[in-house]
Amino acid sequence: MKKLVLLSSFLIANFAISQTVLDSTKTDQQVNSAQRMMSKADKKLTVGGYGEITYNQPETQNGELDVQRLVMMFGYKFSDKVQFFTEIEYEHVKEVFVEQAFVNYAVGDNISVRGGLMLVPMGIINEYHEPTTFNGVERPGVDNKIVPTTWREIGVGVNGRIPDLDLSYQAYIFNGFKSAEADGEDINGLLKGSSGLRGGRQKGIQSTVSTPTLSAKFDYYGILGLRMGLSGYFGKTQADDKIEDIDGTTIGIAMVGFDARYNYKKFEARGEFIYTSLSDTEEYNELTGNDDLSKNLGSALMGYYGEIGYNVLPLSAKQRLVAFARYENYDTHADTEDSFVVRNDEYNRNDITFGLSYHIVDGVVVKGDYQIKDNASSGADVNNQLNFGIGVWF
């Protein structure tokens, strides 16, 4: 509870505004690809992209070099009111995904209807994951294990702002996570104790849908340089047609998130808190679980982090060199209420990351950091890690 009060007082929330017009207090770290490309109202066709090449060196293990992702982006303006945006992502040179593909229809000055494959507005990185917009070679662990970034599904909804209140909003109906699938005569559970909901992302790939889920976010942007907000995601998971009526194939999800970002001259800070409550997990684990009960799905997931950064170069310089430090805790066994789960302290993880982000020019960053990793398990031996990376966004 103390952690919840502390993180709530830090007030978390990003500016997830999805209109085609940007507010006057934007910074590079508070705008994402879709917002930037769709704001270029003078162009019919807009082309862009971003990419990351990374080097990870865990202690006592071989290092890994990877073209982690290369994303090509296209925006098309059909009229002053109707626009299309898409991202085509190549991961690790060998995998191809459509990360976003949606139509935005501005029905009024401050309200739009949007439909297609879209990012779920939860936390910071899920919507703002271009490599020049965040510190650290790797995305925070909270945005991997708790918010399964990059989390996108097919849906429809509205987005806009209330200018008099300096407030933006998003509200969408999506298909949900897929929790189970038929495997011959067996049932395969897709949600695990170690990775939480991550294995259930459908990503718009022949997605199964039986019950819709609701996603909403409200963001306050009335203070220069600050983005604060509140987000929620509620509904049930999905399962294959022929097994969805079997008790235990689906679970309920209630996820809430707070996140904040602040930029003032040479100083920057950000943080987030995410809590997820899962229902009907006892039936799910009984049906799909492991013989090793410590690997089964918990009934709650929780994660938070706080980060500060400082640009050590003069404000007059065209380049930026940001020294940063981040602390995060994330636990996919934050609660384990049912009899088919044994709490696994290895899933209660802590990362301390500190390093440098050198912005050679707007759109190109070279990063280096060191991560001290630990978990709550007695005698745990977790490898610390050295990381280097190059990121571009145009």
- What CATH number should be reported for the domain whose range is 2-48+70-318? 2.40.160
Q: Please answer whether residues 176 and 153 qualify as being in contact, where contact means their C-beta atoms are separated by less than 8 angstroms.
A: yes
pLDDT in the model for residue 40? 77
Q: In the Cβ-directed half-sphere of 131, how many Cα atoms lie within 13 Å?
A: 29
Quick one: tokens of 253?
Answer: 């999800």
Count of CB atoms within 10 A of residue 312's CB? Answer: 12
Tell me what pLDDT residue 338 has: 87
For residue 378, what pLDDT is reported? 82
Per-residue pLDDT of the chain (394 residues; tens, 9 = 90+): 444 434 443 333 332 333 333 333 344 557 899 988 888 767 899 999 999 999 999 999 999 999 999 999 999 999 999 999 999 999 999 999 999 999 999 999 999 999 999 999 999 999 999 999 999 999 999 999 999 999 999 999 999 999 999 999 999 999 999 999 998 889 999 999 999 999 999 999 999 999 999 999 999 999 999 999 999 999 999 999 999 999 999 999 999 999 999 999 999 999 999 999 999 999 999 999 999 999 999 999 999 999 999 999 999 999 999 999 999 999 999 999 889 999 999 999 999 999 999 999 999 999 999 999 999 998 788 999 999 999 999 9
Distance CA 178, CA 377 (A): 30
Say whether pTM exceeds 0.85: yes
Q: Provide the CA 177 distance to its chain's centre, in angstroms.
A: 15
Sequence ranges of the domains in the chain: 2-48+70-318
Render 144-170 in DSSP notation, one character per residue: IIIS-SS-EEEEEEEEEEEGGGTEEEE
* 203 φψ region: left (φ > 0), alpha (ψ -120 to 50), beta (else): left
**Backbone conformation region of residue 22, classed left if phi is above 0, alpha if psi is from -120 to 50, else beta:** beta
Cβ-contact 359, 320 below 8 angstroms: yes
